[in-house]
Amino acid sequence: MRKINKIIIHSSATKPSMDIGVEEIRDWHVKGNGWKDIGYHHIIRRDGTLENGRSFEVAGAHCKNQNRYSIGICLVGGVSEDDVKIPEDNFTQPQFDQLKVLIKWLMKEHKDIKVFGHNHFANKACPCFDVQAWLHAQNLGGS
């Protein structure tokens, strides 16, 4: 198993009406970007369903200079229904519930793991919510 010390939270930058998952994002990453696979390790759909992407054994392709030791989790949504250029925290409660369960499990599996939003490492709105504030509100600490 590779050493993992970070969880990086992303959004798919899709409208709330788009219920996509691993297969659609894999298609974008492979056909659109020319990557060998989906860049994320997990996708959380609008209804809270957790879908597996890349194996944890394989470094992701989700955050420049951070992939080697991180796990990438993507929440579906993150932009306005009316304008995809407008970032928006439009995630559902089931998505946040699943995210909490997943992070708690990963924290048990990897004792020194820290959680960040993609925007911590890049000048982006992604994941379109304050990850640190959310972690504290969920009693999951913060980085």
Give the pLDDT confidence of 27-84 residue by residue, as tens digits: 999 999 999 999 999 999 999 999 999 999 999 999 999 999 999 999 999 999 999 9
Q: Under DSSP, is residue 8 helix (H, G, I), strand (E, B) or coil?
A: strand
CA–CA separation, 85 and 89 (whole Å): 13
Residue 141 within a domain = no
More confident residue, 23 or 111: 23
Q: What is the CATH number of the domain that holds 13?
A: 3.40.80.10
Per-residue pLDDT at 143: 57
pLDDT at residue 111, rounded to an integer: 87
User: How high is the mean pLDDT of the chain?
Assistant: 95
What number is the average pLDDT over the span 104-114? Answer: 93
Mean pLDDT (whole number) for 81-92: 96
In a domain, 89, yes or no: yes
Measured torsion, CA atoms of residues 25, 30, 35, 39, in degrees rounded to the nearest 10: 10
Query: 142, 6, 13: which is closest to 72 by C-alpha?
Result: 6
Q: Decide if 84 is inside a domain.
A: yes
Is 102 within a domain? yes
What's the DSSP call for residue 33? Answer: T
Going from the C-alpha of 4 to that of each of 86, 108, 120, 132, the distances in angstroms are: 32, 12, 17, 19
The pLDDT of residue 142 is 62
The boundaries of the domain holding residue 110 are 6-136
Residues taking part in catalysis: 10, 40, 118, 124, 126
- Report if residue 1 sits inside a domain: no
Structurally, the chain folds into a number of domains equal to 1
